[in-house]
Structure 1
Amino acid sequence: MNTKIINIALSQVGIKEVSGTQDNPEVLKYFNELGFDGAALKDETAWCSAFVNWVAKEANLQYSKKLNARSWLEVGTEVTKPEKGDVVVFWRDSKKSWKGHVAFFIRETQNWIYVLGGNQNNQVKISAYPKNRLLGYRRL
Structure 2
Amino acid sequence: MQLHVLPPKYAWLRREPGPRMLVEALKLYGVLEAKGTADNPQIMEWAKEVAKAPGLGWIGSWYDKDSIPWCGLFVGVVAARAGKPIRSKLLSARDWLNWGSPVIGAPVLGDVLVFARGSGGHVGLYVAEDRDAYHVLGGNQGDAVSIDRVSKDRFLGARNHYATAQPDNCRRIQMGADGPLSMNEA
User: Normalized against structure 1, the TM-score is what?
Assistant: 0.91
| Identity within the alignment, % | 38
Q: Which residue of 1 aligns with 2:36?
A: 20
1:90 and 2:115 are equivalent in the alignment: yes
* Runs of 5+ consecutive residues of structure 2 not aligned to the other structure: 1-16, 52-58, 162-186
1:47 and 2:63 are equivalent in the alignment: no
> For 1:117-128, what aligned pairs fall within 5 Å after superposition?
117-128=138-149
* Cα distance in structure 1, aligned partners of 2:94 and 2:83: 21
> For 1:66-77, what aligned pairs fall within 5 Å after superposition?
66=89, 67-77=91-101
Q: Residue type matched to 1:122 in 2? A: D
Render the CA deviation track for 1:20-51: whole Å, top value 9, x for unaligned: 22110111122111212368520111000001
* Cα distance in structure 2, aligned partners of 1:77 and 1:15: 28
Q: CA RMSD in A?
A: 1.6
* Cα distance in structure 2, aligned partners of 1:127 and 1:7: 17
Q: Residue type matched to 1:49 in 2? A: G
> Against the structure 1 CA distance between its residues 131 and 29, is the aligned structure 2 distance closer, same or farther, given a 3 Å change threshold?
same
Q: Residue type matched to 1:85 in 2? A: G
8 A contact 2:44–2:63 mirrored in 1: no
Render the CA deviation track for 1:51-84: whole Å, top value 9, x for unaligned: 1000001001122232100110001111122121
Rg larger in 1 or in 2? 2
8 A contact 2:47–2:63 mirrored in 1: no
Larger strand proportion, structure 1 or 2? 1
* Runs of 5+ consecutive residues of structure 1 not aligned to the other structure: none
How many residues matched?
136
User: Normalized against structure 2, the TM-score is what?
Assistant: 0.69
Which stretch shifts more, 14-23 or 48-57? 14-23
* Cα distance in structure 2, aligned partners of 1:31 and 1:61: 16
